[in-house]
């Protein structure tokens, strides 16, 4: 009886070793916090075999890039055009500050280069500190070039409150048909 007891315990121990090893091997990879410009991102990344993996969707959004996933789902294309934005007042002078509660006319000049994908439209918006967004201009892009300049129509806007008013330039990717912010500049109302 004593030998049977020892044999049972020994067998049980041998059966536990492979199960424990499998559980350890199947353990999820440790998540890593992702900070972009010192802001913690919503989706974490993970490390596997020394490589860092991050969410492509989140990173393209945060880095002002365009992303298109092909129908098969096997290919993701990320394009990061160089987009510079300048704000011009009604006299053609560059500006970035405005008095609150005052209406101001301005236009937006966007210079785009290194555009390696086809786009169908360009949109420019302004967002108030209370998170109300208005469209400054929205135009279809007919000529497919890797660089171009775009000046919006003159726009009149009242800066209702003090704070930052982001002006964003969006491009619509022809493949994905999604809008992506590719540039941002802020107007500060004081």
Taking the domains of the chain in order of start, what are their residue ranges? 2-54, 77-189
> Is the model's pLDDT at 16 over the cut of 70?
no
pLDDT digits (tens, 9 = 90+) for 96-129: 999 999 899 999 999 999 999 999 999 999 999 9
Instruction: Give the integer Cα–Cα distance in Å for 42 and 167.
Output: 23
Q: What is the reported pLDDT for 13?
A: 57
Considering the four listed CATH numbers 3.20.20.140, 3.40.50.150, 2.60.40.3880, 3.30.70.3270, the one that applies to the domain covering 77-189 is: 2.60.40.3880
Mean pLDDT over each residue of the chain, to the nearest integer? 86
Task: Summarize the confidence of residues 128-151 as an average pLDDT.
Answer: 94
- Provide φ and ψ at 181, rounded to 5°: -70, 125
Residues 6+ apart with CB under 8 A from 150: 109, 110, 112, 122, 139
Main-chain phi, psi angles of 4, to 5 degrees: -65, -40
Task: Return all residues near 143 (Cβ < 8 A) that are at least 6 apart.
Answer: none
- In angstroms, the CA 86 to CA 108 distance is 6
Q: What is the pLDDT of residues 53-90, one digit of tens each?
A: 888 888 888 888 888 887 777 888 888 999 999 999 99
Predicted TM-score of the model (pTM): 0.76
């Amino acid at each position: 009886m004593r030998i049977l007891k020892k044999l049972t315990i020994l067998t049980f121990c041998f059966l536990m070793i492979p199960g424990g090893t499998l559980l350890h091997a199947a353990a999820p990879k440790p998540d890593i916090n992702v900070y972009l410009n010192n802001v913690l991102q919503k989706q974490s990344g993970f490390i596997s075999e020394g490589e860092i993996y991050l969410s492509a969707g989140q990173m393209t959004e945060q880095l002002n890039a365009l992303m298109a996933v092909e129908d098969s789902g096997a290919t993701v294309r990320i394009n990061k055009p160089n987009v510079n934005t300048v704000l011009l007042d009604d006299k053609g002078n560059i500006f970035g500050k405005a008095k609150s509660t005052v209406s101001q006319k301005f236009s937006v000049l966007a210079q785009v280069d290194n555009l390696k994908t086809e786009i169908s439209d360009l949109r420019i918006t302004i967002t108030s500190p209370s998170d109300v967004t208005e469209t400054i201009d929205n135009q279809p892009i007919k000529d497919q070039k890797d660089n171009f300049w775009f000046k919006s129509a003159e726009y009149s806007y009242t800066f209702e409150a003090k704070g930052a008013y982001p002006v964003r330039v969006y491009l619509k990717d022809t493949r994905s048909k999604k809008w992506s912010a590719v540039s941002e500049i802020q107007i500060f109302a004081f």
